[in-house]
């Protein structure tokens, strides 16, 4: 899926309308040229990453994870797209198949990263399923860790 500017704006609009992200995020100013980039903290090892190509929200790749992430913006808010893969666990999780779902991803709510002077991390991730969602709502927001 090619992520166009129109799709990014549509995703941002959907988030604002559903109340998932307040207007503050949409009006956030870009980071200054002299500042360090905001990171997303890897839940498994605690390392900060800029523009990761994959993310495992539960640190259990046998269940679900995001892959093929491509970012069109990485500032005080990050916008991207990728694939969310979920193990269907049929007949068991060890023998299950991964089902792929196309997604848009928004990283937001930058906060001070504890024990990393002057560095910020994204504390929220909103995943928007662009096709039929696997279960639940079409947009889901995760609270991201500051440590691994």
Number of domains observed in the structure of the chain: 1
Cβ atoms 123, 143 nearer than 8 A: yes
Which of 141, 126, 142, 113 is CA-nearest to residue 41? Answer: 113
Q: Give the tens place of pLDDT for each residue, 58-108.
A: 877 668 999 999 999 999 999 999 999 999 999 998 899 999 999 999 999
Task: For residue 10, give every residue at least 6 positions away whose Cβ sits within 8 Å of its Cβ, in sequence order, or none.
Answer: none
Mean pLDDT of the chain: 81
Q: Give the tens place of pLDDT for each residue, 127-145.
A: 999 998 888 899 999 999 9
Pairwise pLDDT comparison (45 vs 14), residue with the higher score: 45
Confirm whether 112 is domain-assigned: yes
Q: What is the pLDDT of residue 59?
A: 78
Task: For residue 6, give every residue at least 6 positions away whose Cβ sits within 8 Å of its Cβ, in sequence order, or none.
Answer: none
Confidence of residue 13 (pLDDT cuts 50, 70, 90): very low
Confirm whether 148 is domain-assigned: no
Q: 36 lies in which domain range?
A: 5-143
Confirm whether 81 is domain-assigned: yes
Q: pTM of this prediction? A: 0.75
């Amino acid at each position: 899926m090619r992520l166009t500017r129109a799709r990014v704006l549509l995703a941002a609009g959907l988030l604002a309308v559903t109340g998932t992200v307040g207007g503050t995020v949409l009006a956030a100013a870009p980071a200054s040229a002299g500042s360090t980039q905001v990171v997303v903290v890897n839940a498994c090892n605690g390392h900060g990453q800029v523009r990761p190509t994959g993310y495992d929200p539960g640190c259990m790749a046998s269940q679900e994870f995001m892959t093929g992430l491509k970012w069109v913006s990485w500032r005080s808010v990050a916008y991207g797209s990728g694939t969310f893969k979920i193990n269907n666990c049929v007949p068991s999780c060890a023998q299950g198949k991964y089902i792929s779902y196309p997604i848009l991803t928004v990283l937001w709510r930058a906060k001070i990263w504890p024990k990393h002077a002057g560095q910020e991390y994204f504390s929220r991730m909103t995943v928007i399923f662009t096709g039929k969602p696997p279960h639940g709502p079409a947009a889901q927001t995760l609270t991201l860790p500051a440590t691994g």
